[in-house]
Structure 1
């Protein structure tokens, strides 16, 4: 196992039923300055520890039955974080302070959660993936002014290749001409990555063109008249010619 700057432990359990496959994940990760303890199901967070606010968080939608990890879940996460950092120091001593591996984000996208309607509440999403180690720092601006109200970011989620994904959100009310940006910072970046979102007028459906009159019947009618005249002329010619032969 290759040791990296972030020591990460993953515990995955596959739960198989007759018609579905679910993945349960438990993450304990740490570095000198950051740490993460999270439980998830099918790439969705069920619970994580917020070490800055010193509390546990249940980022579950209100329409599902609540899931609880017990009153001592946050204290257990703090203990796991301490153990993780102890193991990190032992690994450094054993490998003589291995050089850090750093991967800059391979993809940054900004988009809205819902279709844009002016004055209707919406959410901007800044999707960052392919980076190592975790986390990234994401900041928002509105019309070149830093904004924090209504912003949030999830805990780093591991990808299959060992890198991470994080999603930052900003609640906003679309107004014509407003310009938003999300700025991504990471240890492997020499300068921040910036993505811009312009609030533009929603496209209006084009007025359908009036159907043009069909030329088919007129053409066929014209051909019918011409053929009829030619037939009449031919008939007259043969009649006259027959009269001369009498």
Structure 2
């Protein structure tokens, strides 16, 4: 099992087989200076403990009929104590095992909604396939750093790596160029993806003329075929 230096990661997965396969997951992870406690379902977060704010966060929008838990933050704090106790035992037992590092296998940037100039939207930076967690994601607008972004807690993939998603609200304007930069301990240099607002807001200029020429060519060929048919019929009648 992959182990991060000074990190213990425990999870349990419940699979229910009916018409659809569901995965209900609980994560309890800790290090000497950080920790994570999260419940998830089918790749989505149901809730997680924010140890800085000292509260349990339900990230779903208010119109969702969400699942809630009794005293979840208190449970998270208790589980962190157990995690750190187990961490000491695992650290001593595995001190000679070399660490494994996987760089992100995919970094993509895209918008939540179709781009309309002047209309509020959300940029999404999707990072997956890395180990250990977490990654650090920073944003720029026209090469200037911007703040106000959010990022979810690391979510495990089936192969043992992780996925994290950072979001930045923005209003598309012509000429603006955004970027998300990903840092991870396995990368020798950060990975950056660019998003050009003007390029994304334009349709392909070749589609219209190409379609028009295609239709014209088809109509022209049909006309030639029809003329040839009637010419042959006329010759047969004479």
Moved more, 75-84 or 121-130: 75-84
Give the 3 Å change call, closer, same or farther, for CA 20–91 of structure 1 in structure 2: same
Matches within 5 A, 1:79-228: 79-96=78-95, 98-149=97-148, 151-199=149-197, 200=199, 201-203=201-203, 206=208, 209=212, 211=216, 212-213=219-220, 214-223=223-232
**2-structure distance, mates of 1:183, 1:2:** 26
Match of 1:241 in 2: none
Give the 3 Å change call, closer, same or farther, for CA 91–216 of structure 1 in structure 2: closer
Tell me how far 1:3 sits from its aligned partner. 4.1
2:208 alignment partner, SS class: coil
**2:35 corresponds to 1:26:** no
Match of 1:41 in 2: 41
**2-structure distance, mates of 1:131, 1:173:** 30
1:215 alignment partner, SS class: helix
**RMSD between superposed Cα atoms in Å:** 2.2
Tell me how far 1:227 sits from its aligned partner. 5.8
Per-residue CA deviation, residues 80-133 of structure 1 (Å, 9 max, x unaligned), is: 122212221222223336433221111111111222121122211111111111
Give unmatched runs, 5+ long, in structure 2: none
Per-residue CA deviation, residues 154-209 of structure 1 (Å, 9 max, x unaligned), is: 11111111111111111111111110000101111111111111112320662663
Would you say the 8 A contact 1:92–1:98 is kept in 2? no
Give unmatched runs, 5+ long, in structure 1: 232-246
Tell me how far 1:226 sits from its aligned partner. 5.5
Match of 1:9 in 2: 10
Larger of the two Rg values belongs to structure: 1
Tell me how far 1:222 sits from its aligned partner. 4.1
2:78 alignment partner, SS class: helix
Give the 3 Å change call, closer, same or farther, for CA 80–97 of structure 1 in structure 2: farther
Would you say the 8 A contact 1:4–1:98 is kept in 2? no
Kindly tell me the number of residue pairs found equivalent between the two proteins. Answer: 226
Query: Could you tell me the TM-score, scaled by structure 1's length?
Result: 0.82
